[in-house]
Amino acid sequence: MALEIYRATKDFPESEAEILQAEMRRSGITIAGKIARAVGVPDAEDREKSLRLALRSANELSVRIELAKDLGYLEESAADEIGNQVQRMQFMLNRLLYKNRRLAR
């Protein structure tokens, strides 16, 4: 997903390079990084924290995608494709959080 975000945002206006473009890219990287961290953490509480941070970044990315589409920086098809990926990621993160809570009991 992070690569898709980089590709989709490469043609953003220069004025957005340090704002919306950078935030979208950072969100994509953060999601992947926090999931990777959660996988390597044996402690359920730390794993939960990493997964929650990944979910928060996914939620923020979802809003930024809509904003970029509404501003005309992202084509509708690209925004929809990335948006669908983010929705799938949010679903998976919620499931992982649920399973993590059940295992922690």
Q: Indicate the pTM of the whole model.
A: 0.91
List the domains of the chain with CATH numbers.
2-104 (1.20.1440.60)
Q: Which has more confidence, 102 or 71?
A: 71
- pLDDT at 95 > cutoff 90: yes
| pLDDT > 90 in the chain, percent | 83
Dist. CA 62–CA 45, nearest whole Å: 26
Dist. CA 62–CA 57, nearest whole Å: 9
Residue 64 CB coordination number (10 Å): 24
| pLDDT > 70 in the chain, percent | 100
- pLDDT at 18 > cutoff 90: no
- pLDDT at 105 > cutoff 80: no
